[in-house]
Amino acid sequence: MQKVAISIGDINGIGLEIALKSHKDVKKICKPIYCINKTMLYWGAAYLGLDVPDDFKFKECGDSFEITPGISTKEAGKLSYESFKSAIKLAKRKEVKGVVTLPINKESWKKANVPYIGHTDMLGSDTIMMLGCEKMFVILFTHHIALRDVPGKIKKDALVNFFKKVAKSLKAKKIGVLGLNPHAGDNGLMGDEEKAIKKAIKKVNKELNSQQFIGPMVPDTAFIQNFTYFIAMYHDQGLAPLKALYFEESINVTLNAKILRTSVDHGTAFDIAYKDKNPSNKSYINAIKYLLSL
C-alpha cells in the first residue's frame, strides 16, 4: 500500500475534522502521513470531541497556539504553510507517492507573510491548475489574477507553451479550448482575443501531429458538449459551471509540477468549523484516489 502525505490545511477550518473523521476509510486505500504539530492535533481533536486514532501517523511540524475556529489568523496561516512544506519534503525525498492538501485560507497566508498566494503557486511558476472530477475537468490558463488583467495574457506564444505543457501532463484525446469573449468574439465583433487562441491551437496541433485541442469554443455552450477536458481562459469561466454541477466531488490537481499533488476543491468553511456539521469528505477521498491512480 502506498504512502501519501496529507497537508492538514488551516487549523481554524474544517481540514482537521475531515482528516480525523475520514481516517478509517483513508487507511484502507493508502498509508497516510499527516503533517501537523502534535499539540495542535490533540487540541484540535479535543475541541472537536474526537479521539486521535492510535494509527494516526503524523509528521511533526510548526508551532502551537490557541485555536480560534472560523477566524483567519497569522498563526494558523504559518502552520498550514509549514504543513505543506513538510509534505513537499516527504514527496521530494520519495518517502510518499505524493501530496494531498486540505484547504488553506489565503488571507491567513498573507497575514503570516507567506510569499505565495496558495498551494499551486508555491509549487512553481510553470505549474498548471486543473479542477474537476471524472465527469468534467477544467484547466485554467490564468487563475488568481484580476479579471481586468486576463485579456493581456491571451497571446499566441503563451498559449502554445501552455498547451504543450498540458499535452505533456495529460493523456487526453481531445481538449476543448474556450474563447474569452461572449460568443467567442463573434468574428471580432466582441473582441479579437480569439484570433490568438485560434492561431495557437492550429500551431500546437500541427506540432503534435494531432487534433487534440479544439476551439475556440463559445463559453456559454461549451459545457453541454461531449468533452471531459476544457481549458478556460480565466478562473470563474471554468469554475462556475464546474462547481454548479460537481461541487462536492471535484478535486484540484496540479499539473506540470515536480511532485504529484492533488487537493480538495473547497475552502476552509470557517462558518461551520468545529460546529459538528459533518462536512463532506467526497472531495478529499476523490483527491486521494486520483493521486493513487497517477
CATH code, domain with 112: 3.40.718.10
Hey, what amino acid is at 172? A
| 79 and 165 fall within a common domain | no
Task: Looking at the structure, tell me whether residues 252 and 263 fall in a common domain.
Answer: no
Tell me the average pLDDT across 31-46: 98
Q: Which pLDDT score is estimated for 188?
A: 87
Per-residue pLDDT averaged across 97-105, rounded?
98
Say whether pLDDT at 144 is over 90.
no
141 and 249: one domain? yes
Domain limits at 188? 128-256
Q: Is 224 exposed, middle or buried (0-12, 13-18, 19+ CB in 10 A)?
A: exposed
Q: Do both 86 and 132 map to the same domain? A: no
Q: Which three cell numbers stand for residue 203?
A: 500551431
For β-strands 31-35 and 58-59, DSSP reports them as parallel
| Residues in contact with 218: Cβ distance below 8 Å, sequence separation at least 6, in sequence order | 179, 183, 184
User: Residues 6 or more apart from 170 whose CB is under 8 A from it?
Assistant: 130, 139, 229, 255
Q: What is the pLDDT of residue 238?
A: 96
C-alpha cell at 284: 478529499
Statement to judge: residues 251 and 267 lie in one domain: no
Residue 123: is its pLDDT beyond 90? Answer: yes
pLDDT score at 16: 98
- What's the average model confidence in pLDDT over 20-49? 98
Q: What percent of the chain has pLDDT over 90?
A: 95
Total domains in the chain come to: 2
Indicate if the pLDDT at residue 183 is higher than 90: yes
The band of 146, judged by pLDDT with boundaries at 50, 70 and 90, is very high
- 164-174 burial, b at 16+ Cβ within 10 Å, e below that, comes to ebbbebbeeee
pLDDT at residue 171 in the model: 85
- Strand 261-264 with 58-59, pairing: unpaired
Q: Are residues 110 and 132 in the same domain?
A: no
The 10 Å CB-count burial string (b at 16+, else e) for 55-70 is ebebbebbeebebebe
Nearest by Cα to 139 from 218, 232, 201, 214: 232
Residue 128 is placed in which grid cell? Answer: 498548471
Same domain, 140 and 86: no
Query: Residues 111, 182: one domain?
Result: no
Do 86 and 191 fall into the same domain?
A: no
Q: What is the pLDDT of residue 36?
A: 98
100, 167: one domain: no
pLDDT at 143: 87
Q: Edge-to-edge strand order for the sheet containing 261-264? A: 58-59, 31-35, 3-7, 99-101, 261-264, 251-255, 128-133, 136-140, 229-232, 175-178, 213-217
Alpha-carbon torsion angle 73, 76, 78, 79, nearest 10: 170
CB atoms near residue 74 (< 10 Å)? 16
Task: Note whether 17 and 56 are same-domain residues.
Answer: yes
Write the pLDDT tens digit of every residue in 189-239. 899 999 999 999 999 999 999 999 999 999 999 999 999 999 999 999 999
pTM value?
A: 0.92
CA angle at 27 for the pair 25 and 31, rounded to the nearest 5°: 150
What confidence category does residue 112 fall into, taking pLDDT thresholds of 50, 70 and 90? very high
Q: State whether 143 and 26 are in the same domain.
A: no
What is the distance between the alpha carbons of residues 20 and 99, in angstroms, rounded to a whole number?
17
> Strands, E, within 22-180: which ranges?
31-35, 58-59, 99-101, 128-133, 136-140, 175-178
- Mean pLDDT for 85-104 is 98
Are the CB atoms for 144 and 121 separated by under 8 Å? Answer: yes
The residue-averaged pLDDT of 247-266 equals: 95
pLDDT digits (tens, 9 = 90+) for 260-291: 999 999 999 999 999 999 999 999 999 999 99
